Chains A and B, each alone.
Chain A
Amino acid sequence: MTDFSYGRNAESVRSHPRLVTTRVLLPAALIVLAIAVNLALLTRITALEIDNPLLVDSTLGELAVWLAAQSEQEAPQSMLGQLARAQAVRAGAASLDTAALLTLMQRIMVGILAVSVALAAAAVVGLFANSARGRTALIGSLIVTLLPLFILPVGTGDNTLMLVMAACVLLITAYFAAPGRITRFHSFVAVLAIIFLVWEGSKAVAAALDYRVAVPATNWEYTGYPTLDDALVALEAGEIDAVIADRSAVRDLMAPFPLAAESEPESFAYPNLRYLTNINTGEAVLGIFPVTPAFPGRLAVVVTAAGGGLSDLNSLLNKRIGTPTGEFADERYLSAPREVILLDLRILNDLNLPHLQNIAEALLQPARRNGPLLLARILADAALHTWGEAVLGFGIGGLLGFLLGTLFAHFAPVERGLLPYVVASQTVPILAIAPMVVIWLGAGPQAVAVISAYLTFFPVTINTLRGLRSPHPNAIELMRSYAASRREVMWKLRFPAALPYIFTALKVSATASVVGAIIGELPSSIRSGLGRAILDFSSDYSLVSTPKLWAAILAAASIGILSFLIVGLVEYLVLRHYIRN
């Protein structure tokens, strides 16, 4: 800090010219590098041929193809389709030219990159001029640079996406290195960008590692025999310790181990041999780490009656093993090279975690192949439908919660009697009640609203109760000294004091009502809500439907967050005069 006896303060440091330049040099350099990367991308995209997969398979490219198809139809259902049709009609053509549309999309992509470069340049200027606008321009450039992540397809052997990610990383680092205050909105954007980069980055890393981190393991030591009987004879003679063969082949030749109650080992062809039925053929071999290839269920391990009791595949590793040559065990299992999988990264593969571009693309494509409406439109309609039910449920639940809370605050015996049940009601899984509510009220939005209200009323009740009881006893005595009636005390003192508490509960309830609406739709056979959409997309586990599932979840998340924000906004407007922290 400063030396007190000379009275210099922090202000004077800022105006020292040399210090300013050094602090700004690093971020400026990073931004210039980002600009260079973006320019490289720009040139690459400008140079693309119309049929290049980078263009055709991109989100915008696929959209262009769909628009062209829609413009052919007489009366397209979707808004964009109608726009395309109108455009075609105006040009006097039967449909829009796909090539022309693709060129348009190409120009849009170039435009986006150009805007990003311009904003970045403005950021550099702002940095040197020591203006706060520079940092805003930097964040703006970051936001625009993130867009290609959602547009450009990930091709094999193509490093375009890497360039985009590199540019984003440079911009984020530049932001944190630049002097100045980090505002909440900026840090929000930065964290969001980091999340997207980690998403794509970890997928890239996992793909490079082939979705697993593995080390080679020792292979089996085994001898091949011309037939199964030869192997079994060798086992009886003690030349080998175990035989691995097809289970169906050995099952009729010997008794299993452990012995089943009725089996007579003597009656089999090989009375002194057993095939193991309880060997742990689950994948884990080295402690917790699984091994590939895993032991297939069609194989069995045969040992002598005396040598039985092996419980683990590991215990076979140093034993002498035999198997009939030419068969499954020999060709596909014992001879295959083994690996111990230290870390399974399959969670990051395209099936489980689609690329951001896949999700964006799924949104801008029809939900069913060649369907009339884009997924985005269908999800928007579904979301609106669900939201309507949620709002109804929120209203009912909020009102009920407020009434209950007020009742409890004024009549203590009622509170003592009913409150434990109100609390206990929340331990009942809502999903269990849902089918019964549907039966009582009939399938439809009213049942969903009731289910949604069930999740909503509890926080409001508790907080209303707490809020109404929150005023200081002195304040209540003051009101009594004015001979105020109970109702006046309630509305003039208790209710305003309770408002902050009630709003806190309403914010929680806003999101709970959305959860309730989604859950409620499932047993109510409501076809047009998000609950149904999520269930439909989840029933098919494929590369096509998983991005749709993520898109549907995104829609659900959006209405949850939006509800929360709206209540927050109302809270701000109502309470801003009192809450000044």
Chain B
Amino acid sequence: MSIKAAQPVILAQNVSKIYNPNTEEQVIALENIDLQVQAGEFISLIGPSGCGKSTLLRLIANLITPTSGALRINNKDPHQARLDRDYGMVFQSATLLEWRTVQKNVELPLEIMRYPASERRARAQAALNLVELSQFYNHYPWQLSGGMQQRVAIARALVFEPSLLLMDEPFGALDEFTRERMNMELLRIWQETQTTIIFVTHSIPEAIFLSSRVVVMSPRPGRITSIVDIDLPYPRVFETREEPRYFEKLTAVRELLRDAHEV
């Protein structure tokens, strides 16, 4: 994939999302969001509950629309970006369709985009290879563990090679060990496909380990308090978690979060 250095993949200017505006039950989910994401970056959104990180992700995905402000994805209106299928999405739960096999689940977006059957099969197999689950192509979701289901969900999100991947706490339901391994997997996949990734999480170590930049958010009203550059080198390995610079970044982000939370 070529990297367009000039145009940001995501450009948000003064974006707000207000529920029930001008009424008593008004909720300001997001206020004055300014964010630029370049191609190939790995951005984490982190913050306590209610800070609007999932809302921001859904705004980018055009599953909800902003109340005000400008939002452009790949220099297009988010609605157009969704129609053009510029992004793949991974949810908190794997959200696989229980009545389809693993292979058919991965083929789902390709069916909707009307790829011919043989191409669908080939691409699905390639995606399953990427997440190292190809021998389970004929199993049903209930036969796989949680971590494996999430990997299938990732394969499905990447099968049509989008330039942008949106992930909403995808590893939240997994145990610590599985999660650390999934982090490594994700970094490997990111390196191989060079997609831009927006990753929502509430785990500080995970955010630091994975991202090139961490966006710290705070609630009431939801806003971005600061953006931290994580200048740890890639490829990151298991040992990266033991480096002193890792701990520095960890402490920095933790303190930013605490300040934001106390406000």
Residues on A close to B: CB < 8 A? 1, 4-5, 7, 9, 11
Q: Which residues of B contact A7 (CB under 8 A)?
A: 67-69
Residues of B within 8 A of A1 (CB): 65
Q: Judging by beta carbons under 8 Å apart, are B67 and A9 in contact?
A: yes
Q: Are A4 and B66 in contact (CB under 8 A)?
A: yes
Please name 17 pairs of A and B residues whose Cβ atoms are closer than 8 Å in the assembled complex, sorted by A.
A1-B65, A4-B65, A4-B66, A4-B68, A4-B69, A4-B70, A4-B71, A5-B69, A5-B70, A7-B67, A7-B68, A7-B69, A9-B21, A9-B67, A9-B68, A11-B21, A11-B22
List of A residues within 8 angstroms of B70 by Cβ: 4-5
Q: A7-B68, A9-B21, A9-B68 are in contact. List 14 more A-B contacts (CB 8 A).
A: A1-B65, A4-B65, A4-B66, A4-B68, A4-B69, A4-B70, A4-B71, A5-B69, A5-B70, A7-B67, A7-B69, A9-B67, A11-B21, A11-B22
What are the residues of chain B within 8 A of A5 when measuring CB–CB? 69-70
Contact with A along B1-30 (1 / 0, CB 8 A): 000000000000000000001100000000
A9 to B20, CA, bound (A): 11
Docked CA distance A553–B89 (Å)? 56
Q: In the complex, which residues of chain A have a beta carbon less than 8 angstroms from the beta carbon of B65?
A: 1, 4
In the complex the two chains form, what is the Cα distance from A428 to B20 in whole Å?
56
Which chain A residue has the least Cβ–Cβ distance from B77?
A4
Interface centre among A1, A4, A9, by most B CB within 10 Å? A4
Distance (Å) between the CB of B66 and the closest chain A CB?
A: 6
Interface flags for B183-199 (1: CB within 8 Å of A; 0: not) read 00000000000000000
Which 9 interchain pairs have the tightest Cβ spacing? A7-B68, A5-B70, A4-B66, A4-B70, A4-B69, A9-B21, A1-B65, A9-B67, A11-B22
CA distance A4 to B62 in the complex (A): 13
**Distance from B21 Cβ to chain A, minimum over Cβ atoms (Å):** 6
Separation of A1 and B78 alpha carbons in the complex (Å): 13
**A13 CB, nearest partner CB in chain B, Å:** 14
Question: Which residue in chain B gives the minimum CB-CB distance to A10?
Answer: B21
A11 vs B66: C-alpha distance when bound (angstroms): 15
Contact bitstring B66-96, A, C-beta under 8 A = 1, else 0: 1111110000000000000000000000000
Which residue, B65, B66, B68, has most C-beta atoms of chain A within 10 A? B68
Bound form: Cα–Cα A334–B98 in Å? 67
Name the residue of chain B whose CB is nearest to the CB of A7. Answer: B68
Assembled-state Cα–Cα distance A252/B66 (Å): 95
Q: State A7–B68 Cα separation when bound (angstroms).
A: 5
Please name the residue on chain A nearest to B13 by beta carbon.
A5
Task: Give bound CA distance, A7 to B32, whole Å.
Answer: 13
**Nearest chain A CB to B182 CB, angstrom units:** 27
CB of B242 to closest CB in A, whole Å: 37
B47-72 contact mask (Cβ, 8 Å, vs A): 1 or 0: 00000000000000000011111110
- Closest Cβ–Cβ distance, residue B237 to chain A (whole Å): 39
Closest beta carbon of chain A to B64's beta carbon, Å: 11
Q: Complex formed: what's the CA distance from A490 to B114 in Å?
A: 55
CB of A400 to closest CB in B, whole Å: 37
* Most chain B Cβ neighbours within 10 Å, of A1, A5, A11: A5
Whole-angstrom distance from the CB of B161 to the nearest CB of chain A?
28
A9 contacts which chain B residues (CB < 8 A)?
A: 21, 67-68
Minimum Cβ distance to chain B for residue A533 (Å): 50
Residue of A nearest to B16 (CB): A7
Once the chains are docked, how many angstroms separate the CA of A11 from the CA of B20? 11
CA distance A31 to B69 in the complex (A): 43
Q: Find residues 25-48 in chain B having any chain A CB closer than 8 Å to their own CB.
A: none
Q: Which residue of A lies closest to B15 (CB)?
A: A4
**A580 to nearest B CB, angstroms?**
16
Q: How far is the CA of A7 from the CA of B22 in the complex (A)?
A: 14
* Residues in A whose Cβ lies below 8 Å from that of B67: 7, 9
Q: A348: shortest Cβ distance to chain B, in Å?
A: 44
| Residues in chain B near residue A11, CB distance under 8 A | 21-22
- B230 CB, nearest partner CB in chain A, Å: 31
Cα distance, A108 to B131, chains bound together (Å): 80
Q: How far is the CA of A1 from the CA of B65 in the complex (A)?
A: 9
CB distance from B71 to the nearest CB of A (A): 7
Complex Cα–Cα for A9 and B22 (A):
11
Within 8 A of A (CB), among B93-143: none
In the complex the two chains form, what is the Cα distance from A7 to B67 in whole Å? 7
- In the assembly, what is the distance between CA of A9 and CA of B70, in Å? 14
A525–B22 alpha-carbon span in the complex (Å):
68
Query: What residue of chain A has the Cβ atom nearest to residue B66's Cβ?
Result: A4
Which B-chain residue is minimally distant from A1 (CB atoms)?
Answer: B65
Q: Give the CA-CA distance A471 to B224 in the complex, in Å.
A: 42
Minimum C-beta distance from A10 to chain B (A)? 9
B34 CB, min distance to chain A CBs, angstroms:
14
Chain B residue contacts of A4, Cβ below 8 A: 65-66, 68-71
Q: Once bound together, how far apart are the Cα atoms of A5 and B66, in whole Å?
A: 10
Which A residues are in CB contact (< 8 Å) with B66? 4
Q: How far is the CA of A4 from the CA of B69 in the complex (A)?
A: 6
Q: With CB as the reference atom, state the residue of chain A lying closest to B78.
A: A4
Q: How far is the CB of A384 from the nearest CB of chain B, in Å?
A: 48
A170→B56 CA distance, assembly (Å):
47
Neighbouring A residues of B69 by C-beta, 8 Å:
4-5, 7
- Assembled-state Cα–Cα distance A235/B65 (Å): 88
Whole-angstrom CA separation of A4 from B17 in the bound complex: 11
Query: Contacts of B21 on A, CB cut-off 8 Å?
Result: 9, 11
In this complex, what residue of A is CB-closest to B65?
A1
* Alpha-carbon gap, A28 to B205, bound state (A): 64
B71, closest chain A residue (CB): A4
A5 to B16 CA separation, bound complex (whole angstroms): 11
Question: Which residue of chain A is the closest to B18 with respect to CB atoms?
Answer: A9
- Distance from B13 Cβ to chain A, minimum over Cβ atoms (Å): 9
Considering only CB atoms, which chain A residue lies closest to B69 in the complex? A4
A7 to chain B, nearest CB (A): 4
Which residue of B has the minimal Cβ distance to A11? B22
CA distance A11 to B22 in the complex (A): 9
B24 shortest CB reach to chain A, Å:
15
CA distance A196 to B66 in the complex (A): 46
The closest CB in chain B to the CB of A2 belongs to B65
Complex Cα distance, B69 from A7, in Å, reads: 7
| A4-B71 Cα distance, complex, nearest whole Å | 8
Q: How far apart are B15's CB and chain A's nearest CB, in angstroms?
A: 8
